[in-house]
Each structure stands twice: as C-alpha cells, then as structure tokens.
Amino acid sequence: MKSFIISLIIACILVSNVFGAVGGKRVLIIVDDLSMVKSHSQFFSTLEGKGYKIEYHSAGDKVELEKYGDFFYDHLILFAPTSDSLSITSSDVLKFIDGGNNVFIAASNGVISDTVRDIATECGIEIEDDKTSVFDHFNYDKQQSEQNLIVADQYIQDAPIILQGLQTPVLFKGVGHSIRQNPLNYAVLTGSSTAYSRKASGVATKLMGKKVGLVSSLQARNNARVTFAGSIDMFSNKFFTSKLGKDTVGNREFAESLLSWTLQERGILRSSNLSIKKISTESNSTVAPEILTIKDEIEYSITVEEFVKDQWVPYVGQLELEIIMLDPYIRTFIKGNKDGEYKSIIKLPDVYGVFTFEATIQKPGYGNLDTFVRQPIRPFRHDSYERFIPSAFPYYAACFSMIVGVFVFSIVFLFHQEPKKAL
Amino acid sequence: MKTISIFLILGIIITVIAATNSGISNIYSKYDLNRVKDYIVSKQDSNGLFNGELKDTYYGVSALQRIQETIGKSKELCKNVKSQLTKNSDIESVFYAVSILSEAKCGGLDASVVDIVTPLLKTKLASGNLIEIYQAVNTIFTLQTAKLNVAIDNNTLEAAVGKLVSLMDAEEGTFKLSDSEQANLANTGLAYFTLARLSHRLKSPEADKLIAKVVAKVGSVMSAGDETQGALSFGGNLATTSSILHGVLSLSSVNDQITDFVSAEQINSIGEYLVKQTNIESLSDAYYLILGLKRCQKNSINQPLHLNLLQTVYSNQLDNVKLQVQDILGADVPSKVVISQAVLSSARTSPIISNVELTSADSKTYSVQNFESGKFKLGSYVFDFKITPVDTQFGAITVRRVLTVSGAVAVKDFKVAVADTKEALGTATSTVVEFGKKLKSPINANGNQTVKFFFRIVSNDQPFQVKQAAIQLYSSAGIETVIPVAFSVDAFSVTLGVKDIAKRLGNHAGLYNADLIIGDNTITPIKWNFAELQFDLGAVEPTTPLTRFTDSQPITHKFRTPEKRPPQTISDGFTILVLSPALIFLLGLVKVGINFKRFPTNNLVAFVSTLVFICCICSVGLLIVNYWIGSTMDVTLKNLGLLLIPTVFFGHQTLSYMNQERSLLKEKEN
C-alpha cells in the first residue's frame, strides 16, 4: 500500500512535469488606481480564466518582488504609468526580468513615471516625451473627432506566433516609442506610414511612419519576455467592445494573444535526449574506442519540444548545429521529423582539440534554444594509422632485412667455420 | 514684504485656477442606464427575489425604484419577502425585508410587524454595531413612513447618536464598526446618513452638537479620496464613494456648515467618477451607482453639469455654435451660456470673439444669433464657455472645448532639386511637379549629392501651416522611411544629403517611390505619389539586414588531402634494391660457413647460456616487430631494457665459454 502511494506521488510529479506550465502562474498586477481593475476587468478576466493567481495592488502599496533571491511572482503587469509613488523601482523590475520572469507594461499619453521609462529604456524601448500622442490623420476612428484614436493594423510580420495571425485592426490611443535595431526587440504593432508622434503643443516630433512603435516586446536571451504598450486604454473594456462601423475592433483578440505570448504560454522551446554516437572511424586503434577521434563519422541527435496549450509537443523546424573550436569548423542545418527529433551524420574535422557542439534554434517570437556540449576530439594514436603502406615497402625491407641480418650475423658470429690452418 | 505679497497673490491665483469648476466630461447616457437596468432585471428569479437573496433584492428593488422602473413579478416578490420577514428575526433581514416591502409598495407592513421588530430594534439601537444601528434607524423610519407607530422614544435615538459619534476616529473623522475595530471610509457614509436621519427626526440641540463634531471632520474625510484624471473616488470602489456622497449630502440638509468642508468641485469630481462606471458587475454596484447619480442630479451643494456640443467638426465654415447644458443623467438644465472667448489654437493670445451670449428658444439647444462665421476659417479653435444655471443655488462653470473647421488644402509650387553640394542647390535646376500628377521619369541622385524638396500648402490662396508634412520613400522590397518637412515663413522645405537619406534606408540603393504626406486635424489629409527616386550609392554595403536573424551559411570542413604516393612499381623496384645487399650477405655467409658443432653440448652452463642468448636475440627482433605492429615506444623501450640484461649476460657467458674452448683448442693443437 505504501509503495503504491509513493508510486502514485511520483506519477503525479511526472505528469505535472509533462503538462506543467512554463513560467508559473503567480501574477502581480499594479494599477495606478484600483478602479482600473473594473475598467479593465475583461482584460484581467482572461488571466483569471486560465488559472493564474492574481494579486492586485495600487501603485502606492508596498510590494516586494523578491526576497533573498526568491521571487514572489512569475509575472508582473504594470498598469501604473503615471504614478511616481511606486514602491518597486526600475532596478527591482530589471532584476525580476533577469530572473527569467515576464513583465507587461502599459503607458498612456499623459505623464509617464521615471520608473516606467527606465524599465523601457533598459529593454531597448525609448518612450516619447510626456504628453505626447500618436496621431494618424488617415487611419483613425472616424466616429470620434479625435485623430489620436488611431486604427492600427501594422502587425509584426516575421513572428506570427505572437499575435497568431490577427488581421482585425485595433484602436490605439496613447504614446509612441521607438525601438532599438536589435533582433531581441519586436515591433509587435506599429503605426502606419502616415502616423506620427505629436506633442500636446501641436508640434510633431521626429518619430514618424512605421518607426512609430505602438506595442513592442523584448524576447530576452534568458527567455524572459517584456511587452510595452503605449496605450493603457487599448486594454480597457471600453475599447474591447468598441466598433468600427459595424465591425468589432480586434483589441480583445490582440490583448489576449499578446498577453498569453508575454506570459510564455507559447513559443518556448526545450531540448532533450542529446546524443553523439560514433558510427565509423578511420582509426585502427582499439584503445578507448568511445573517445571521438579526428575524421570519425558520428550521428548527432537531439529532441526539441515546444510548449503549446499547457503541454510540450514536438517542435518541427530547422536546427542549426555548429561544431566550434574558437571558430566554427562545421555548420549544418538539420530538419526535424514529426517527433521533433533532429538527426544528422557528420564527419568530424581532422583537427584535434576540445570542440563545442552547439545546437541553436532562432525563430522570431520563439524563446532561445541554445544547447551545447563539449567533447574532446583526439588525434590518431601512433598505432591508428594504416600499417602496410605499399609505397613504404623499401623502408620495411630495409628494417626487416636489418633485423634478420643482425640475428643471422649473431648466429654466424657464434658458430662460424674456423678457417682451416694451412698444413 | 513685497515677496510675501507676490506669493500670496500667486497662491490665490493658483487656488482660483485649481478650484475652477469645469463640469463633467460626459453624462451617464440613457444607453448605459438601460444596460444597468437590464442587468438588474436579469438577476430577478421566478420567485421575484433577486439572486434568491434578501440583500440583493433590496439593491435591485431600490435601484429600479430610483430610476422609476416597474418592478416585475411584484406579487411573488412581496409574498416571498413577507414570508422571509416572518421567518428571520435578525436585524439585517428585517431591515432588508421592511425596506423592500416599502420600496416595492407591497403593503403588509402593519402593527403586527411593528410588534415583532420593536424589541429587536431597541436592542440594536442600544448595543448594536454601526451597521446594525444604521439598519435599525432606517427600519424605524421606513415603518414610520408607512404610518406605523414604533414605540421607540427620542432618548433611545439620542443615545444612538451618541453611540455613533463615539465610533468616529477623532483624528481622521472616519467611523469604526464597533469600538474594537479599525475605522474605515466604508462605514463613514453609512454613519453620516444615519446621523442625518436622526438629526432630522430628533431636532435636538444635544444631537446637533454631537453631529457638528462629525461635520467638523468631513473635510478630513473628503481629503482621503483618490483623485485621478478629475475623478474623485473613496476606497477605490463604487459603494464607498457613493455612500460617502449620499451621507455628506444628507448631512448637508441638516447642517449648513458642511459647505465649508465639501466643495462644488468635489461633488463634480465624484460625478466624473460615477459617469465612468459603465461596467456593472453586481446588484450592489448597480444600486450604489444609481444612488450616486441621483444624488449628483439633485442636491444642495452642486449639480455637476455637462456641456454637450452638438457638433465639434465643421466642414469649411463654422456657421454657428450649438450646444446643450445637461445634468449628470442628461436632463436639460436651463442656464445662461456665454462664449467668454474663442481663439485659434495656434494663436491663443488674440481672441477672435469674446463675451457672446448664446440663446435658446426651448431651454434645450443654445446657439448664437448673428454668428460671425466669416471669422472662423480652416483650423482648430478653443472656445471658453461660461455656464450659469438659472437656479441660483449653484455656481457658474467654465468649460473649454475645441471646435474644428475642416476643409481641403492644396499643394503649390512643389519642386525637387538635386545638386552636388548644398550651396549649389540655389543655382540647380529644379524639377517642378504639378499637384496630383507624377513625374514620368525617376529623379537620379548619387551618394555625394544633396536633394531639396520645396512646396507650399494653401487654403483659399492663403498659406496654411499643417501639423504633419512629410516625404515618404519606399521601395518594392519593403524598405521605407518618412522624412519630416519643416515649415518656415510660408513654405515647407527639407534639404538632405543623399548619404543621410541612404542611412535612413539602411544603405539600400535602388528605386524608391516618393509620396508627400500632409495631415492635420482640420484638413482632408493628402497622400500624393509625386515621383520616383533612383539612388546610386556606389559600393556602400547595406547596414540593416532585411531579416531579423542574419542567415548563416553552412560551413563544411576542408580535410587535408593525403600526400601523393609514388607508383607501386617504383616502390617494388626500390624494395628489391634495398634487399639486394642481403644477397651479398648471404653469399658471404656461405663462404664463411656455419659450424653448429661448436654449439656447446658437453657443458651444461654453456649450453644454457648459448640457448638463452639466442632466444634473447630472437626476442629483441620480435619486440621490434611487435612495436612496429602495435606496441608503443614506451612499452618497447622498457621491454628492450629488460631483455638487454639477460642478452648481455648470457652473451658474455657464451662468448667467454667459446673463447675458452678456442684457447684450449689452440693449446691442444700446439
């Protein structure tokens, strides 16, 4: 009975690992004012429906993100753009991100606190000045007179996993930003060519066209995700239920997709079953055959999985494998099979040393997968070379004739015929 | 002294500015109110109760009653509530049941009910907590409104006043539920309302004196609210905010001093908070929302007003200004409306019109008689309105609104010039492009040249400054940039080196389409494809990759090619050559001859030594062969070293024996 219970516990742990969530479920939501919990209730309810444990705090509340290196939350939603009384500092949030946790920030076209600005800057996002709005005189909600209530549909193209193919335009009213040219930064939603950023005084800033960032994200190297939206209103119940003519705007779908991606509900990769098997060798040596030797033919295999809908499923794509000793000696691309297995037969270089076998997958919108293993590659032993080289027969003949000669000479020296004396 | 005076004046000015009442930004629309109503109705069960609970039924019935909506299933409702009243004897159920029966006009509140509840009410007034006193007091008044005689004397009620006031936090003015608990804002509204009702009934100087203590702390309570974007709330929730508003306004009807602590602006800000509450998630919220809205609509301190402009964007000409003055629920409020001043948004110091009164024939829609529409051309105008309600109880409000006159503009004198230097642009020939048309052939420019775009924007032949003027360059490969164009005097122009443009385009040379973008709130925006530009950047490498991750190329390792070997025949020839001296050696051996009879057989020691010596020489040969086949130098040398010991020793023994034999043989022969 006892062993049955133990087995059951182990089985539960295994199952929870297989279907476990990536990134955890503890969410801290900080709002400028608790009334925002109501005005944005539909946005927050998407989290509640997925089993996240949410803790709401107003900006003035004393909140700690970590203590002695342990984080109290897995995700932070910062909907307090204006408040300067935030108890958490930008360095706390950056530490939180460095710990692999995710952050979702929204700002507005009013005054933006230094904390929010600092966090955004550290994440490669430069927010426009206070009281600056994005305008688009061509694409705005024609039912409203304000031309800063823009209709945006310039979604990110190279990372469809973020918005899952959303096409419906969204309403946006807020501040613009620019992002650094960096493969880790994603311009999830930008203004159209006719959009521009304008100060309250009516003066246009230099930020124009598709460079006007509306919503941007950072996929950090440690897989943490940070999303910055220039409009807090775009996640409000009011915007969720707004209409453009007869059509409903896509704010709800946009927010759901963006939030779920930011909270690592998809687009996370992991690897397992890495193996390097020797298939054939040119070495004749029988000493330590498991050690890799130059010119060995090996089979490199690894399994890659992707986190989709709360479970790990095989990831089918392309993997880049590099065999590196300071510089890559071999770089090859391996296609995965339907089980997410990536196999390739490779002939090792004829250079010996300690090599790194580095497998990487770089796909926009996906987490970084960088799996490496170090293996020494040895030169041939002296007995590994071919023994009988026909071209070297003269040398062999010289050596062996010498050996035989010495032996024969020794015998002759001992048992030679004494010269007969002349009588 | 002078400095103090300046600061004092500045302080007064700032206070006046801060205290300016600008009304509420919107009304609580009929659409939203209907949604609230629908929500309440949807919660009514078939037995007439709301959510099957007395508490929710109270909220539902009271809310519907306040917006004068008919309460459905009233028969079932009344029957069920009466039965609950007879079943439950706790103060909460009694309060809710009595209130529902009264609000729903069920009847059935008679002397028998009074007889049942009076002892309970007395107990709670004497020893209940704040909420229980609130419920008891309201139950008493509800019964009295139904013309029933509740046998509770004024002394008991005065004692209740004393008890309530004793629950107030002396510093903050908020109320505790009981002596042992912390004071909070949620209890405060209930306490205010209860005290107001008691004061109204008792009209006792003793009670009023106690209530004056509470009123003196109202200012402190009001300052505990959170104001965000002009909306004032308490405790971050609708129930507390509405309850405090209700309580404060109730107190104001029994104590005039309250206006010293509660300003018209604060009521306005609470109104601003209430109109934003469009998402109702509980019957409690619905009740408190309607309670708050109704109290804002009608009270003695301030009536939040909204100025509703019937039109804010005018096409080509501002023919008149039409507006309505409404209260928080959209009812018209007769007022005197004056345009204090109207200015162009880009030139605010020179008023276009001032002190113009708007009139209304029906006290609903106001407009200006003989409006000088000619003064308002294309642009945005800031209007300051002063609204003074006819009801002199309330003060005037000042509202600022922006009205826009929109229309079409045209682009004139559009020129593009390309020259080798900036200075040469003045003398270079410009390409003139007619507005609306496109150049047939591309404009060529190389990396060392400079390009200038020049144009004017006019409205009714007058220069017009737009907010957005830019040139968009885009290629078929998806590379694009937008270059802002600056306004100066009466024209727009931008001069840029092709190198700078190329930098924006990530040094991708080629053919680009060029569009002029003109935008402003007041005009019909323009996007005009006027030309194509061909940039030749020479040997400059593109800096920005078109893809996020640079495409890595496969790397294959180049193996060292094995050295060339000579043909086999040559090797064989050399082998024979190498072996040929062995023939000479063999011939020499034949000549020397072998005499195995010299092998020592008669001497055991010599026999063994010779045999071992020969074996050792064989072993050395075999050891070398073994080394060649597979052994290591280390092992070979060790073994060779070991073998040399017996080889030398036995060799020496053998040779010495042979030498002795030879000497003996010589002696014999001699």
- Identify whether A10 is part of a domain: no
A109, A176: one domain: yes
First to last CA, chain B: 154
**Are residues A211 and A345 located together in one domain of the fold?**
no
Is B565 in the A-facing interface, judged by CB distances under 8 Å?
yes
Interchain proximity B549–A364, CB inside 8 Å: yes
- Least Cα separation, residue A359 to chain B (angstroms): 13
- Determine the pLDDT at residue A358: 96
Helices B30-42 and B54-66 cross at an angle (nearest 10°) of 150
Any chain A CB within 8 A of the CB of B311? no
**Domain-embedded: residue A309:** yes
Please indicate, yes or no, whether residues A129 and A54 belong to a single structural domain of this protein: yes
The verdict on A284 and A213 lying in the same domain is no
What is the chain B residue with the closest CA to A419?
A: B592
- Tell me whether residue A408 is in a domain: no
- Put simply, whether B519 touches A (Cβ < 8 Å) is yes
Q: Tens of pLDDT along chain A (423 residues)?
A: 555 555 555 554 444 444 445 668 899 999 988 878 888 989 999 898 888 999 999 888 889 999 988 999 999 999 998 887 788 999 999 999 999 999 999 999 888 999 999 999 999 999 999 999 999 999 998 887 778 899 999 999 989 999 999 999 999 999 999 999 889 999 999 999 999 999 987 888 989 999 999 999 999 999 999 999 999 999 999 899 998 888 889 999 999 999 999 999 999 999 999 999 999 988 877 777 888 999 999 999 999 999 988 889 999 999 999 999 999 999 999 999 999 999 999 999 999 999 999 999 999 999 999 999 999 999 988 778 877 888 888 998 998 888 888 888 888 888 877 766 554
Q: Which residues does chain A have within 8 Å of residue B346's beta carbon, measured at their own beta carbons?
A: 202
Q: Which among A194, A328, A391 has the least Cβ separation from residue B519?
A: A194
Judged by CB atoms closer than 8 Å, whether chains meet at A196 and B278 is answered as: no
C-alpha–C-alpha distance, residues A239 and A243, integer Å: 8
- Cβ–Cβ below 8 Å for B554 and A145: no
Average pLDDT over residues B380-407: 86
Using an 8 Å CB-CB cutoff, list chain A residues near B231. 35
Chain A from 367 to 386: CB within 8 A of any B CB: 382-383
Q: Is A180 on the interface with B (CB under 8 A)?
A: no
- Span of A68-82, B505-519, B531-545 with lowest mean pLDDT: B531-545
Of A299 and B549, the structure prediction assigns the larger pLDDT to A299
Query: What is the mean pLDDT of the segment spanning B14-42?
Result: 78
Interface-testing mutation among A357, A414, A421, with chain B (most B C-beta atoms within 10 A): A414
Report yes or no: A136 at the B interface, CB cutoff 8 Å.
yes
Average pLDDT score over chain B: 87
For an interface test with B, give the residue of A145, A158, A238 to mutate (most B CBs within 10 A): A145
Chain B partners within 8 Å of A399 (Cβ): 624, 628
| Contact flag A394-B574 (C-beta cutoff 8 Å) | yes
Q: Is residue B485 classed as helix, strand or coil in its secondary structure?
A: coil
Least CB-CB distance to B571: which of A209, A362, A393? Answer: A393
In a domain, A161, yes or no: yes
Q: Do B467 and A331 touch (CB under 8 A)?
A: no
Q: What distance in Å separates residue A160's CA from the closest CA in chain B?
A: 13
CB contact under 8 A, A417 and B560: no
Q: Is B647 on the interface with A (CB under 8 A)?
A: no
Residue A5 inside a domain? The answer is: no
Q: Which residues of B177-199 are buried (b: 16+ CB within 10 A; e: fewer)?
A: beeeeebbbbbbbbbbbbbbbbb
- Tell me what pLDDT residue A21 has: 52
- Could you say which residues from 46 to 85 on chain A have a Cβ atom under 8 Å away from some Cβ of chain B? 58
Task: Count the domains in chain A.
Answer: 2
Mean pLDDT of B49-73: 91
- Is A421 part of any domain? no
Contact assignment for A38 to B279 by CB distance below 8 Å: yes
- Helix B604-629 × helix B633-669 angle, to 10°: 150
Q: A255 with A112, same domain?
A: yes
ipTM: 0.81
Task: Give me the residues of A, 79-118, that contact B with CB < 8 A.
Answer: 110
Those residues whose C-beta lies under 8 Å from the C-beta of residue A126, and which sit 6 or more positions away, are: A120, A177, A178, A179, A180
Cβ distance B517 to A206 less than 8 Å, yes or no, reads no
Identify whether residues A256 and A273 lie together within a single domain.
no
Residues A293 and A222 in one domain: no
- pLDDT score recorded for residue B665: 80
Does residue A83 fall inside a structural domain? yes
Q: What residue in A sits closest to B281 (Cα-Cα)?
A: A38
pLDDT at B204 over 60: yes
A329 and B557 Cβ atoms separated by less than 8 Å: yes
Distance from B519 to chain A by nearest Cα, in Å?
A: 6
Pick from A118-122, B158-162, B202-206 the range whose average pLDDT is largest. Answer: A118-122
SS3 B254: coil
Collapsed DSSP state (helix, strand, coil) of residue B255: coil
A210 touches chain B (CB under 8 A): yes
CATH code where residue A111 lies = 3.40.50.880
**A238–B contact, CB cutoff 8 A:** yes
A17 touches B at CB < 8 Å = no
User: Which chain A residues are closer than 8 Å to B345 by Cβ?
Assistant: 202
On chain B, the residues whose CB falls within 8 A of the CB of A158 are 547-548
Of the candidates B233, B484, B594, the beta carbon closest to that of A417 is on B594
Band (pLDDT 50/70/90 cuts) for residue B548 is confident
Whether residue B15 has pLDDT greater than 50? no
Q: What is the pLDDT of residue A3?
A: 58
pLDDT number for residue A253: 95
Residues A218, A274 within the same domain: no
By C-alpha distance, the chain B residue nearest A82 is B228
- Choose, out of A194, A298, A380, the residue to mutate when testing the contact with B (most B CBs < 10 Å): A194
Return the pLDDT at A422: 52
CATH number at residue A287: 2.20.130.20
In a domain, A363, yes or no: yes
Residue A202 to residue B345, Cβ atoms within 8 A = yes
Question: Are residues A90 and A36 located together in one domain of the fold?
Answer: yes
* Interface contact B552, partner A, CB < 8 A: yes
HSE at residue B126, side-chain half, CA atoms within 13 A, is: 10
Report the alpha-carbon distance of residue B272 to residue B247 in Å, rounded. 18
CB < 8 Å to A412, chain B: 589, 592, 594
Domain ends where: A377, A394, A415?
A377
A35 → closest Cβ in B233, B582, B589: B233
> Are A200 and A330 found together in one domain?
no
Q: Would an 8 Å CB–CB cutoff place B596 in contact with chain A? A: yes
Please give the residue range of the domain that contains residue A233.
17-262
C-alpha span between B215 and B230 (Å, rounded): 25
Task: Verify that A277 and A225 share a domain, yes or no.
Answer: no
The band of B17, judged by pLDDT with boundaries at 50, 70 and 90, is very low
Same structural domain for residues A256 and A331?
A: no
